[in-house]
């Protein structure tokens, strides 16, 4: 015998670009560039077990709803957009008890003139909103693909050595990583009225400041410093999860060319990479519930 376990379905990676004409500074245009994924769950066993689609709102409809809500809501914060969509699916589809909306936002930097933008290279803003009819609403936002580097103020030594250890201890190295961070909002403070743009700016700034200002003995230590600073600076948040690939920079041996290398010329390795992951929680953080499900 087998049984059907947890399941969900939806439309992944709907590319939605919303232009809001004349609503920016000095009558300029605003733009939101999103990659939207919806995932619905609830009373859906029939579709898996007997092919009964009477509870299955088509993923094509979900995609259309994403576009329609972009029109209706305007160039709002991605969290506000995801909240509205999540509530819509749970409120209008009886069998659907939970909606998970994920939005990746690609930033566009304003150029001179009211209609011109250049796409931000690199980092992506993220949010995942889960609306559950019984368990309530959770919001986890963050940033990914944020590559940062310190040319010094990083050491790594004092680690255990065994018969397979070849790496030398270092008192001065380059430290580089590509940050993925997710921050969980306190449920009682997160809703349509939250200043999500300010939280994003403050959390990102805190993370960058902690990375730059921490004299680091390991990427683990930098990870904790980043999470700690975000929670200290942004009271609306109660937990930060970080994934930090160690983007190794190895000194090139220039001796064959009769040259010294006093921490000046590096080989940036692509793989393998160390992967440092961790969670930092406020002492009074409520249970995570379904926030990361
Ligand atoms: O910051 C680091 N943490 C590690 O766990 C580790 N392991 C390693 O080989 N180099 C590093 N660097």
Centroid of ligand 1 to alpha carbon of 157 (angstroms): 9
Residue 59, pLDDT > 90, answer yes
Pocket-testing residue among 274, 275, 276, 278, ligand 1, by greatest number of atoms within 8 A of Cβ: 274
Domains and CATH numbers, the chain: 8-134 (3.10.270.10), 141-287 (3.10.270.10)
Q: What is the pLDDT of residue 37?
A: 99
Please report which confidence band the pLDDT of residue 104 belongs to, taking 50, 70 and 90 as the band edges.
Answer: very high
Strands of 175-185's sheet in order across? 14-20, 30-42, 96-110, 117-132, 136-150, 175-185, 237-246, 274-281
Question: Which atom number of ligand 1 is nearest to the Cα of residue 248?
Answer: 10
Q: What is the pLDDT of residue 153?
A: 98
Centroid of ligand 1 to alpha carbon of 273 (angstroms): 9
Choice among 55, 59, 88, 151 that is catalytic: 59
Please report which confidence band the pLDDT of residue 283 belongs to, taking 50, 70 and 90 as the band edges.
Answer: very high
Q: What is the pLDDT of residue 173?
A: 97
Residue 116, pLDDT > 90, answer yes
Q: What is the pLDDT of residue 88?
A: 98
Please enumerate, as own/partner, the contacts of 248-257 that have beta carbons within 8 Å and a separation of 24 or more: 248/176, 248/273, 248/274, 249/173, 249/174, 249/176
Pocket-testing residue among 148, 176, 219, ligand 1, by greatest number of atoms within 8 A of Cβ: 219
Rg of the chain over all Cα atoms, to the nearest angstrom = 23
Centroid of ligand 1 to alpha carbon of 254 (angstroms): 24
Q: What is the pLDDT of residue 121?
A: 86
Token code pair at residue 260: 């010294």
Centroid of ligand 1 to alpha carbon of 81 (angstroms): 40
Token code pair at residue 149: 């580097």
Choice among 63, 247, 248, 249 that is catalytic: 248
Name all residues whose Cβ lies below 6 A of ligand 1: 156, 167, 218-220, 246, 274
Centroid of ligand 1 to alpha carbon of 106 (angstroms): 31
Residue 247 catalytic?
no
Choice among 11, 63, 247, 249 that is catalytic: 11
The average confidence (pLDDT) of the chain is 97
Question: Which atom number of ligand 1 is nearest to the Cα of residue 219?
Answer: 1
* Burial environment of residue 102 by CB neighbours within 10 A (0 to 12, 13 to 18, 19 or more): buried
pLDDT tens readout for residues 165-190: 999 999 999 999 999 999 999 998 78
pLDDT, average across residues 46-75: 98
Atom 7 in ligand 1: which residue has the minimum CA distance? 274
Atom 8 in ligand 1: which residue has the minimum CA distance? 274
Beta strands in 111-263 (DSSP E): 117-132, 136-150, 175-185, 237-246, 249-251
Centroid of ligand 1 to alpha carbon of 125 (angstroms): 27
Pocket-testing residue among 149, 155, 159, ligand 1, by greatest number of atoms within 8 A of Cβ: 159
Please report which confidence band the pLDDT of residue 26 belongs to, taking 50, 70 and 90 as the band edges.
Answer: very high
Query: Rounded to the nearest 5°, which phi and psi values hold at 145?
Result: 60, 35
Q: What is the pLDDT of residue 231?
A: 98
Question: Are 86 and 94 a contacting pair, CB within 8 Å?
Answer: no
Atom 4 in ligand 1: which residue has the minimum CA distance? 218
């Amino acid at each position: 015998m087998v049984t059907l376990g947890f399941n969900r379905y939806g439309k992944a990676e709907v590319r939605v670009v919303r232009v809001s004409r004349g609503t920016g500074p000095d009558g300029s245009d605003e733009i939101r560039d999103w990659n939207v994924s919806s995932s619905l769950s609830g009373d859906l066993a029939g579709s898996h077990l007997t092919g009964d689609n009477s509870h299955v709102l088509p993923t094509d409809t979900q995609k259309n709803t994403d576009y329609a809500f972009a029109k209706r809501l305007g160039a709002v914060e991605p969290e506000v957009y995801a909240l509205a969509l999540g509530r819509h699916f749970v409120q209008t589809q009886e069998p659907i008890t939970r909606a998970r909306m994920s939005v990746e936002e690609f930033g566009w930097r304003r150029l001179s003139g009211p209609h011109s933008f250049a796409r931000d290279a690199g980092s992506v803003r993220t949010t995942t909103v889960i609306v559950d009819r019984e368990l309530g609403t959770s919001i986890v936002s963050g940033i990914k693909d944020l590559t940062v580097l310190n040319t010094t103020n990083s050491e790594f030594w004092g680690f255990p050595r065994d018969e397979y250890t070849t790496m030398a201890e270092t008192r001065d190295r380059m430290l580089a990583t590509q940050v993925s961070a997710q921050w969980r909002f306190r449920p009682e403070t997160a809703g349509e009225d939250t200043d999500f743009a300010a939280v994003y700016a403050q959390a990102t700034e805190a993370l960058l400041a902690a990375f730059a200002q921490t004299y680091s003995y390991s990427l683990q230590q930098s990870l904790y410093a980043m999470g700690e600073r975000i929670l200290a600076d942004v009271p609306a948040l109660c937990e930060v999860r970080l994934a930090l690939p160690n983007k190794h920079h190895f000194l090139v041996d220039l001796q064959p060319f009769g040259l010294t290398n006093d921490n000046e010329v590096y080989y940036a390795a692509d793989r393998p990479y160390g992967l440092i992951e961790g969670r930092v929680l406020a002492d009074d953080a409520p249970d995570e519930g379904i926030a990361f499900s």
